[in-house]
């Protein structure tokens, strides 16, 4: 699956208010493992879903902050706003 597919799936789970900790844990692990290859839209979907479901995974958000800082100049402005929102 691409980062966009995983992001869309995560977003869908949250939008439907499906609370599945094992799914979110697996997604978090996958994102952390492959973070440098993720696009901004996929990341923003995952971040939005985690926030919507009130899932605060410190390693995930810590790694995400480092990755954003490293490639902030590659993100389109709207996607960066979505990720940070």
The model's pLDDT over 29-83, given as tens digits with 9 standing for 90+, comes to: 888 788 778 777 787 788 778 777 777 666 677 776 666 666 666 656 556 556 5
Rg (CA), the chain: 12
Is 20 or 63 the better-scoring residue by pLDDT? 20
The reported pLDDT for the residue numbered 51 is 79
Predicted TM-score (pTM) of the model is 0.62
Checking phi first, is residue 8 left (phi over 0); if not, alpha (psi -120 to 50) or beta?
A: alpha
The whole-number pLDDT of residue 85 equals: 58
More confident site: 70 or 24: 24
- Do residues 3 and 28 lie in contact, with contact meaning Cβ atoms separated by under 8 Å? no
């Amino acid at each position: 699956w691409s980062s966009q597919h995983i992001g869309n799936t995560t977003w869908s789970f949250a939008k439907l208010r499906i609370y599945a900790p094992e799914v979110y844990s697996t997604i978090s692990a996958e994102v952390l493992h492959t973070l440098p290859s993720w696009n901004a839209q996929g990341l923003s979907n995952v971040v939005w879903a985690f926030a919507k479901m009130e899932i605060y995974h410190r390693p995930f958000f810590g790694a995400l902050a480092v990755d954003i800082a490293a490639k902030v100049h590659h993100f389109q402005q709207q996607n960066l706003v979505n990720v940070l929102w």
